[in-house]
Amino acid sequence: MLLNVEKALGNIFSKLDFVYFPLIKRENELKKYDFCFIEGAVTNKEQVKLIKHLRKKSRFVVAFGTCATYGGIASIQDFENETLAEEVYGSKISRISDTVQGIGNYINVDYYMRGCPVIKDELLKTIDFFEQMKIPPDYELPVCVECRKKGNRCLLAVDHLPCMGAITYGGCDALCTSQGIPCQGCRGPLPSANVDARVKVFEKFGMSKEDIRRRFIKFAGTSKKFRRILKEL
Amino acid sequence: MSGYILKKEDFGKFIESLKEEYEIFAPVKKKTYFVFGKVDSAEEIAFEFINTEYSPTNLFFPKKEVLFDYNNTKINNKKEDITRVIFGIRPCDVHALIIMDTLFLEANFEDTYYRKKRENTLLISLKCNSAGENCFCESMGTDKLERGYDLMFCEQGGSYVVDIGSQRGQKLINELFKSTDEECIKELHCNKKLDMQKVNQLEQFAEHEGWKKESEACLSCAACTITCPTCGCFDVVDVPNLNMAAGKRLRVNTSCQLKNFSEVAGGHVFRETRDKRFKHRIYHKLVYFKKQFDTFMCVGCGRCITNCPAGIDMVSIINSLK
Ligand code: SF4
Ligand code: SF4
Ligand code: SF4
Ligand code: SF4
């Protein structure tokens, strides 16, 4: 994703010195870092060790993307039973991952850059803040606000589609709903999200418990907000 | 003032005549719903709408507006010199503009961005043929319109009966219009009624337990304020470019339904709980604004009801207060 901001890339490279970036560099030194962007979920003990090490050496740690924040799509496995894994992989294969979690479960995180994928503008803004040795504020805004500002008709209120917009962190500029696709909740639940009310609305529109569960598990089932409601459902 | 009449078959020509001098905004169909958009011909204009999804007050107070951009020390103000005609604005939305005027023109300060747009825009209102299921303008008294429009169109048989509301409106009258004694006889009746007696007693119900109960269903999504034609709360944000030398300043619409709306330096939030925010919107519309400016901040357009994903209906909540 970082390499995807073509236009600003030159500018970024002139500001930041990439010392550890296995994806683009052959030699990666592990000394001390001002900023550490960690991408992907944590799935085994070695990874826990690595991120603890990175934490110690870094001034700021960013959870980069929904996987690093909540475990993301892969974390669905934590909510499924073993038989499903066996059906897919067979019983003989040895799995390298145990539980799929965001990095915040193991280390202190300074900034969560949510999204699947993360949004270019947010990335650039974060680099701006870091340049001044500041952490960007966590802006609590539901997707609905951005969706409404774009002049969309509400997929939930009018068409009764299972949109997660009202309880999900905005910042994506309502990417999905503007295309008529209900929000999947990829940026995770807002701290102020009224999850119980959301369940009631889904039930009112005729969604089954199983379908509602799936909605919550998809990206951020490991978040506190969703974990609680998943226990109740 | 004596009225005029415009035959429906001449409507297209009328729009053509406006085009010479103005940009024209009118209701257009977008997939399954109606919004105000720029039109080039009469064929693009939709007539079968009850009201538009979003209010045309957005054309004066956009949800997101660039105030100026800057480059090093140079500031470029946005030009606002296009002259526009809004055709098809419903009476309730004209009332909404009158309310916004109180806020942006007549209160303690004047908003130049708003004023310029107001001055550059003519309003041709279009009377409603029928009320929508969530309209309660009759209760608010906003179904009738005595001022605020330049022209008022009323569909009657094969023609429009046209009423002149201002000198600017008078100037739009050309040879296509014939003077007439015929009057618009349309009377609108809303099925939805807001109990105004209850509204006037709202202050007594300020601590009513019903607010907390009703707010439990609220998602705090802010749709009710963003689609409300009279909500004028905004935030000002700077968006610098990566080189920090240039950038722009924006004004973006915000909402009291969001938790950070009442957050102040140091992190204190005045309306921390959902029920406080929930109640605040309704009280601002029907109590606080009325106290301050002697008019309600609600025109009964029903958008907050239609657009609430949780099905929250302030009319039935207020009516059932005991
Ligand atoms: S479509 Fe979804 S994101 Fe958009 S306003 Fe409705 S609930 Fe919110
Ligand atoms: S639209 Fe409905 S759910 Fe959303 S904030 Fe308003 S009252 Fe609450
Ligand atoms: S409060 Fe609701 S009914 Fe009143 S003007 Fe606003 S959107 Fe319309
Ligand atoms: S209801 Fe809320 S968003 Fe609307 S004008 Fe009042 S304080 Fe502002």
Do A56 and A78 have their domain in common?
Answer: yes
Mean pLDDT of chain B: 91
Mean pLDDT of chain A: 86
Alpha-carbon distance of A223 to A188, in angstroms, equals 8
The CA dihedral of A52, A218, A184, B260, to the nearest 10 degrees, is -50
Do A8 and A112 have their domain in common?
Answer: yes
In chain A, the DSSP E strands lie at 33-39, 58-64, 111-113
Do A115 and A191 have their domain in common?
Answer: no
pLDDT band at residue B2 under the 50/70/90 scheme: low
B155: number of CA atoms within 13 Å, CB side? 12
Tell me the H-state helices in B235-307. 274-283, 289-293, 303-306
Most confident region among A35-39, A42-46, B222-226 by mean pLDDT: B222-226
Do A103 and A14 have their domain in common?
Answer: yes
Do A79 and A21 have their domain in common?
Answer: yes
3-state secondary structure of B34: strand
CB of A125 within 8 A of CB of A14?
A: no
Q: What residues pair up with B178 in beta bridges, in sequence order? A: B5
To which H or E segment does residue B36 belong? strand B33-39
Query: A157–B307: do the CB atoms touch at under 8 Å?
Result: yes
DSSP B63-94: SEEEEEEEETTEEEEPP----EEEEEE-HHHH
Do A113 and A171 have their domain in common?
Answer: no
Residue that is last in its domain, among A131, A162, A182: A131
pLDDT tens per residue across span A73-110: 888 887 877 677 777 777 766 666 678 889 998 999 99
Q: Which residues line ligand 4 (CB under 6 A)?
A: B 225, 228, 231-233, 255-256, 281, 284-285
User: Residue A92: what pLDDT?
Assistant: 66
Do A18 and A118 have their domain in common?
Answer: yes
Q: Taking 80 as the threshold, does the pLDDT of residue B200 lie above it?
A: yes
- Mean per-residue pLDDT, A55-63: 92
Alpha-carbon distance of B117 to B106, in angstroms, equals 15
Nearest CA in chain A to B309: A157
Residue that is last in its domain, among A78, A101, A131: A131
- Mean per-residue pLDDT, A136-146: 88
Q: Is the full-model pTM beyond 0.90?
A: no
Q: Name the least confident of B206-215, B233-242, B256-265.
A: B256-265
Q: Structural domain of residue A201, as residue ranges?
A: 143-232
Helix axes B91-101, B112-119, angle to 10 degrees: 140
Do A110 and A220 have their domain in common?
Answer: no
ipTM for the assembly = 0.84
- Closest ligand to the CA of A168: 1
Query: A139–B260: do the CB atoms touch at under 8 Å?
Result: yes
Amino acid at B182: E
A126 in any annotated domain: yes
User: Residue A3: what pLDDT?
Assistant: 64
Bin A151: left if φ > 0, else alpha if -120 < ψ < 50, else beta. left
Do A190 and A151 have their domain in common?
Answer: yes
Tokens of B270: 């005045």
Residue that is last in its domain, among A98, A131, A164: A131
pLDDT tens per residue across span B111-134: 999 999 999 999 999 999 999 999
B53 to chain A: which residues are within 8 Å by CB?
Answer: 151, 153
Q: Which of A153, A175, A177, A184 to mutate to test the pocket of ligand 1 (most atoms within 8 A of CB)?
A: A177
Q: Taking 70 as the threshold, does the pLDDT of residue A8 lie above it?
A: no
Q: How many helices (H) and strands (E) does chain A have?
A: 9, 3
Tell me the H-state helices in chain B. 11-19, 91-101, 112-119, 137-140, 167-172, 196-200, 210-215, 223-226, 274-283, 289-293, 303-306, 314-319
pLDDT band at residue A125 under the 50/70/90 scheme: confident
